[in-house]
Amino acid sequence: MEDCIGHDNGVEILVEINMICKSGPMKIEGKVAIVTGGGQGIGERFCIALLEKGANVVIADIKTRQGESLSKQFNQKYGLNHLINYTKSTFGNVDILCNNAGVPEMEQWEKVLNINLNSVIRGTKLAMEAMSTKNGGRGGIIINTASMGGILPMPSGPVYCASKFGVVGFSRSLDTCYESDGIRVNAICPSFAPTSLFEASIDSLVNANQHEEARKMKAIIISIDQVARGMIQLVEDDTKNGAVMRITAAKGIDYQPYRSSKL
Ligand SMILES: NC(=O)C1=CN([C@@H]2O[C@H](COP(=O)(O)OP(=O)(O)OC[C@H]3O[C@@H](n4cnc5c(N)ncnc54)[C@H](O)[C@@H]3O)[C@@H](O)[C@H]2O)C=CC1
Ligand SMILES: CC/C=C\C[C@H](O)/C=C/C=C\C=C\C=C\C(=O)[C@@H](O)C/C=C\CCC(=O)O
């Protein structure tokens, strides 16, 4: 939650007032995490970061071959039982959900909304049922991958942008779930990170002769490691709930200030 606390030379001072949910950081070791779109790119890096912290990780990806091959690699590196490969069977005690799968702007715009927004809503609702302390669950954290395109307009990807604005609004609106269900929901908004999705978007711009736009995007690139660090920070910081984390080349990891979360 953020509120305006005053004015300084006409500039409103915004401050984040985040509810303190629990004392001490959330321990990731031994927790069960699901990462959608975990087969490559940002999601793959999320899986590694969670495994390094000792979580059990379920990789949920449409590219099953990639997911299976990663499972094998991760099992060798992080030991057996560190990977649970069938999402449904683990939903009983899921602690962390990273709703991360996503696609870039494409002609079939309904598909963009289905994957980038509807799946995030569906996944969140399913996980909340499993996590809710009201249903005997032990609470948990949901991190929805949005984008800086969920904060700023994107003339080259209006539907992608709409989907990510949706993810941000949805995640912020669920900040009350901690009180009733023991679940924190946060959104993470990276700028541009070097992945297949990013490369595909650059190619589309180049094919459309939008070289300047492509150049600008490449000039403010961040690393997928930075994004994973942000995700771990959101998981471990129990004070973050309904927060919108930005990750940009200009400012690194910080939070989007909003005037008020409530009507
Ligand atoms: N790369 C970038 O510059 C940025 C990406 N993002 C977001 O980060 C997330 C991950 O993107 P990247 O790693 O860049 O892309 P990527 O294309 O490298 O990886 C996306 C993964 O999601 C999977 N996926 C796609 N549709 C799926 C579905 N229906 N079910 C399950 N898995 C599915 C793909 O198979 C792929 O493994 C996306 O939500 C994207 O919008 C946000 C900001 C910046
Ligand atoms: C279409 C697919 C390509 C990339 C996917 C990605 O999700 C899209 C990102 C869209 C927009 C990114 C904008 C990034 C902007 C910046 O990093 C800086 O201009 C903003 C810097 C600081 C913002 C904080 C502030 O307002 O002070």
For the chain, the domains span 23-192+224-255
For residue range 1-27, what is the model confidence (pLDDT) as tens digits? 332 232 333 232 232 222 333 345 789
Map tokens 């940002």 to a residue.
42
197 lines ligand 1 (CB under 6 A): yes
Nearest CA to ligand 2 atom 14: 191
So what's the ipTM on this one?
0.98
Ligand 2 center from residue 260 Cα (angstroms): 22
Residue 160 designated active-site: yes
Query: Higher confidence at residue 119 or residue 18?
Result: 119
In the chain, which residue ranges form alpha helices assigned H by DSSP? 41-52, 64-78, 87-90, 109-113, 119-131, 158-173, 177-181, 196-207, 211-219, 224-236
How much is the pLDDT for 80?
60
Nearest listed ligand to the Cα of residue 47? 1
195 lines ligand 1 (CB under 6 A): yes
62 lines ligand 1 (CB under 6 A): yes
Residue 40 CA, closest ligand 1 atom number = 37
Enumerate long-range contacts of 148-152, CB under 8 Å, 24 or more apart.
148/189, 148/190, 148/191, 148/192, 148/246, 148/248, 150/187, 150/189, 150/244, 151/189, 151/244, 151/246, 151/256
41 lines ligand 2 (CB under 6 A): no
For residue range 51-107, what is the model confidence (pLDDT) as tens digits? 999 998 888 888 878 778 888 888 788 766 554 445 445 556 889 999 999 999 999
Q: Which of these is catalytic: 160, 178, 255, 258?
A: 160
Ligand 1 center from residue 198 Cα (angstroms): 9
Does the domain formed by 23-192+224-255 have CATH 3.40.640.10?
Answer: no
The separation between CA 151 and the C-alpha centre of its own chain, rounded to angstroms, equals 14
Euclidean distance between CA atoms 149 and 154, whole angstroms: 6
pTM for the full predicted model: 0.90
